[in-house]
Amino acid sequence: MRKSGVMPTLDLVEVGEHVCWIVDPLQGYTAATSAFLADGELFGDKMIIVGSPLDPHASPRALRDAMVVDPRSVRGDGSAPDMSSVFGLVRREADRAGRQGYRALRVLAVMDQLVPPDVGTDVLIDHELRMDELVADNAAIMVCAYGRDRFGAATLDHVACVHPRELGNGHSGPSFRMFNSGPDSWTVCGVVDSDGAAAFGAALAAAAALSPALRLRLDDLELMDAAGMRALVEAAAGTSVRRITVEGANPTVRSCWEMLGYSTCEVPVELTP
């Protein structure tokens, strides 16, 4: 079972983890990046930085063994970024890393340099869920760095929702997280309320695009309000969804679902024990 929640430092990152790093302007990338790369060297990971060197003063040693990918080479020339090329690069390198004898692929994606700030949360959520499925299914570690001063607070909150891990202190983090937990299976933990319902709906739509018959694991979901359940029903009514099977919901989620009349509605959502 994958870990979720906030981690105070990247030193603790493990293979299979997908981390959201919201970088404060004054924090800078240097210290955390250097430690991240040094750990990669220590563990024998293949390291990739998608983006230009993060800090003009970064020590050559820190970057010595990392493959630095020019963001222009993966984002394309169109007005909208081509996120599939980033995904393709990571998937390719994850395959190669195993064959080349590395323990894992360790990726730092500098999102500031990959996508414009107005890219739209739906695009980012779709990209991050695809990445999450890839990381969960491969020997890979992925850290996605988003500059706090480059993206809006709402965008950052939505993006954090689709990473199982987040670098930060114990008080930060979104109300819920959704991440891959196996083939066609996604775990939702925390609280889905009206603050997070839009992000939840976008995440469901993105996950449905990956697998039309979705399984949602709600074992660690504390509660879901009416807005969250509406988002679930609306996602299930989407054209790309065949069925959403909800597993492990607590009695409160189940009774609220019934009270709201969804258990008798003709929506392709099934709550199973």
| Number of residues assigned to the chain | 273
Residue 107 contacts residue 51 (beta carbons within 8 Å): no
Nearer to other proteins, 48 or 218 (CB): 218
Nearer to other proteins, 55 or 225 (CB): 225
For other proteins, the binding residue among 5, 38, 227, 247 (CB under 8 A) is 227
Note whether 260 binds other proteins by CB under 8 A: yes
- What ranges make up the beta strands (E) of the chain? 5-7, 18-23, 46-50, 66-69, 105-110, 140-147, 165-167, 176-180, 185-192, 213-217, 221-224, 243-247, 269-272
For other proteins, the binding residue among 58, 68, 119, 223 (CB under 8 A) is 223
Q: What is the total count of residues that contact other proteins (CB under 8 A)?
A: 24
CA Rg value for the chain: 19
Distance in angstroms (rounded) separating the CA atoms of residues 124 and 115: 9
Distance in angstroms (rounded) separating the CA atoms of residues 166 and 145: 10
For other proteins, the binding residue among 103, 222, 247, 263 (CB under 8 A) is 222
Residues 240-259 contacting other proteins, CB under 8 A: 250-252, 255-256, 259
The residues that bridge with 93 in the sheet, in sequence order, are none
Residues 130-189 contacting other proteins, CB under 8 A: 175
List the structure tokens of 42.
């220590």
Distance in Å, CB of 266 to other proteins, minimum: 8
Distance in Å, CB of 272 to other proteins, minimum: 19
For other proteins, the binding residue among 234, 238, 245, 263 (CB under 8 A) is 234
Binding site for other proteins (CB under 8 A): 175, 191, 193-195, 222-227, 230, 233-234, 250-252, 255-256, 259-261, 265-266
